Amino acid sequence: MQIFPRSLNKLPLLLGGVGTVVPALLVGAIWYFVTPKNFTVGYAPAQPVPYSHRLHVGQMGMDCRYCHANVEVAGKAMIPPTQVCMGCHSMVKTDSARLAPVRSSWESGKPIEWVQVHKLPDHAYFDHSAHLAAGVGCATCHGRVDQMDVVRAEQPLGMGWCLDCHRDPKPNLRPKDQITNMEWKPEMAAAGWTAPDVNPPQHCSGCHR
Partner 1 sequence: MSRREPHVFKAPEDGAKVFWKSLEDKANPAAAQKRAESEFPLGLEEAKASSIASSLVKLRKSKDDAKGVADASVGRRGFMFFAGASAALFAEGCARRPVEKILPYSKAPEHVLPGTTSYYASVIPQRGDALGVLVESHEGRPTKIEGNPAHPSSRGGTDAWTQAAIYDMYDPDRGTTPLKGVRQPQGGFGNHTPATWADFDQAFSEILRTAQTDGGARLRILSESTTSPTFLRLRDAIVAKLPKAQIHFWEAAHDGNAREGARTAFGQLLDVVPSYDQAKVILSLDSDFLGTETGSTRASHGFAKGRKLESSKDDMNRLYVVEPAFTTTGMNADHRLRLAAQDVERYLLALAKELSTSHKIDLGGVAAAVAKADATGIPEKWLKVVATELAEARARGIIVAGSRQPARVHALVHALNAALGNVGHTVQYFPAADPHQADPTASLKQLAADIEKNAVNTLVILGGNPVYDAPADLKIADRIKSVLQTVHLSSHVNETAEVCGWYVPRAHVLEAWGDHRAVDGTVSIQQPLIAPLFDGRADIEILARISGDTAPKSFALVQQTVKGSLSIPASITRTWNEALKSGVLGPAARPFGQLEARQTEIAAALAQAKPAAALSPQSLEVTFAPCPKLLDGRHANNPLLLELPDPVTKVTWDNVAFISVGTAKALNVESGRVVRLSREGLGSIDIPVWVTPGQADNSIALHLGWGRQKAGRYGDKHGFDVNPIRSSDATGFAGNVTLRVLDTNELDAMRPRLRKVGMAAGDSLLPANVRPDDPFEADTKKYKISQTQEHDTMEGRPIAIDATLDQYRKNPVFPQFPDTERKDRAENGAAIAVRETGSPDPHTPPLWGEWKEEKFFKNNHRWGMAFDLTSCTGCNACVVACQIENNVPAVGKEQIWRGREMYWLRIDRYFVGLDENDPQIVFQPVACVQCEEAPCENVCPVNATAHSPEGLNDMAYNRCIGTRYCANNCPYKVRRFNFLNYHTSGGFYDDVPETEKMRMNPNVTVRMRGVMEKCTYCVQRIQEAKIKAKREHRPMKDGDVVVACQQACASECITFGDLNDPNSKVSKARAVDRNYRLLSELGTRPRTTYLGKIRNPNPAMGA
Strand, helix or coil for residue 23: helix
Q: Is 8 in the site for partner 1 (CB under 8 A)?
A: no
Asked if residues 27 and 95 have their Cβ atoms less than 8 Å apart, the reply is no
State how far the Cα of 62 lies from the Cα of 47, in Å rounded to an integer: 20
| Residue 171 interacting with partner 1 (CB under 8 A) | no
- Binder among 108, 167, 187, 197 for partner 1 (CB under 8 A): 108
Of these, 80, 156, 158, 175, which contacts partner 1 (CB under 8 A)? 80
Using alpha carbons only, give the angle 195, 167, 142 rounded to the nearest 5 degrees. Answer: 70
Residue 175 within binding range of partner 1, rule CB under 8 A: no
Judged by CB under 8 A, the number of residues near partner 1 is: 47
Q: Is 147 in the site for partner 1 (CB under 8 A)?
A: no
Nearest Cα neighbor of 41 from 157, 126, 182 is: 157
CB 42 to partner 1: min, Å: 11
Segment 110 to 129, residues that bind partner 1, using CB under 8 A: 110-116, 119, 121-123, 125, 127, 129
Distance of alpha carbon 209 from alpha carbon 191, whole angstroms? 40
Beta bridge partners of 10: none
| 187 near partner 1, judged by CB under 8 A | no
Choice from 57, 64, 82, 151 touching partner 1 (CB under 8 A): 82
Query: Smallest Cα–Cα separation from 155: which of 177, 139, 133, 171?
Result: 139
Q: Residue from 26, 55, 73, 88 that binds partner 1 (CB under 8 A)? A: 73
Which residues, including other chains, have CB under 8 Å from residue 134's CB and lie 6 or more apart? 169, 173, 196, 198, 200
In the complex, the residues that contact partner 1 under the rule CB under 8 A are: 33-34, 39, 43, 45, 70, 72-76, 78-83, 105-106, 108-116, 119, 121-123, 125, 127, 129-130, 133-134, 199, 201-206, 208-209
